[in-house]
Amino acid sequence: MASHRRPKQPSRTRINVLTATAAAAVAVTSQTAQAAPSKPSLDEVKSKVDKLYEEAEKATEKYNGAKEKQEKLQKEISDLQDTVARGQGELNGMRDHLGSMATAQYRTGGVDPSIQLFLSSDPDDYLDKAATLDQLSSKQSDALEKIQDKQRSLEQRRTEARTKLEDLAETRKELGKKKDRIQGKLSDARDLLNTLTAEQREAMQRAEAAATADVDLGSALPASQRAGAALSAAQGKIGSPYVWGATGPSSFDCSGLTSWAYAQAGVSLPRTSQSQASAGARVSADNLEPGDLVLYYSDLHHIGLYAGNGQVLHAPKPGSSVQYTSLNSMPFMYGVRVG
């Protein structure tokens, strides 16, 4: 007969091990799901992008300063090279003149003066010539001294030009590094923006447009006629794109807009926001008038034009355009009334 044995039941120990293993597997799966990176929200992306744009703008103002230095050095070098070229021409002429005098002296001074006087058939004529010869020697001495002075002056100019050329080479290297830094920040910002959906990007654009719509500038008068002309020129550029390093007339960065606007009013401002901060008298927020410059952040890396009624006209950041914003939308430092 066949044996009908009951199947062996698993021991309590085995059941406990299996249960613990299953529980551990469930826990690991749960932790893995929780560890999966979640997609950043619109606000998180916007905050990170704004930070990158701010860092890019800091680098842009430093780039602008280095570029301004480069242009100044190039002009100084060109002027020095022109001065050296003219000076060398003058030096060559002085040497030729000295050579002519030396030739004339040689022709008349080849014999001892006392013998020439003794042999001369006309002693009075010889004495006249001797006086002329003395004058010629004196002129030679003066000419030699002038030549030596000119040589020293030219060598100083050449040394100055060489120093400036070395400085220019370093400035160009510095420009390249700053440009790479700016482009790196902008590239990171673009990568972040590309993580947004089309709907999220549209929401950002609508929010920016709403912030600049229906701006009430009040009825305050400009600080001066020139300030009014500068503000009016900038208002004519509302909607022009922000481009780092641009000074108009079709695109601008922040200090590019303010310097261009005041140039239309006949006022020359320095290139960078930090330099423009010294272009006039400081003004507190309570005393701002339309056309005053408005400086932001502790390092003064952003600047705009006060437009009135708590509004500022500025070129804000890449991907945006010249527009109005609230005076308090950024860390305000002080205003500047251009003299």
pLDDT tens across 296-336, in order? Answer: 999 999 999 999 999 999 999 888 899 999 999 999 999 99
Residues 304 and 240 in one domain: yes
| Closest to 272 measured CA to CA, from 243, 301, 296 | 301
Please give the single-letter amino acid code of residue 218.
Answer: G
| CATH code of residue 255 | 3.90.1720.10
Residues designated catalytic: 254, 302, 314
For residues 282 and 111, which has the higher predicted lDDT (pLDDT)? 282
Does 3 map to a domain?
no
Each residue's pLDDT tens digit, 47-91: 888 888 888 888 889 888 888 888 888 888 888 888 888 878 877
* Cα(151)–Cα(131) distance, integer angstroms: 30
Of 24-28, 176-180, 243-247, minimum mean pLDDT range: 24-28
Domain harbouring 178, CATH code:
1.10.287
Q: Which residues contact 325 (CB under 8 A, 6 or more apart)?
A: 211, 212, 304, 311, 312, 314, 316
pTM as predicted: 0.62
Residue 101 resides in a domain? yes
Among candidate residues 291, 297, 282, 302, the one with its CA nearest the CA of residue 333: 297
- Summarised one tens digit per residue, pLDDT across range 210-243 is 666 678 999 999 999 999 999 999 999 999 999 9
Q: 125 and 93: one domain?
A: yes
Number of domains, the chain: 2
CA pair distance 204, 199, nearest whole angstrom: 9
Task: Tell me 307's DSSP state.
Answer: E
305 lies in which domain range? 217-338
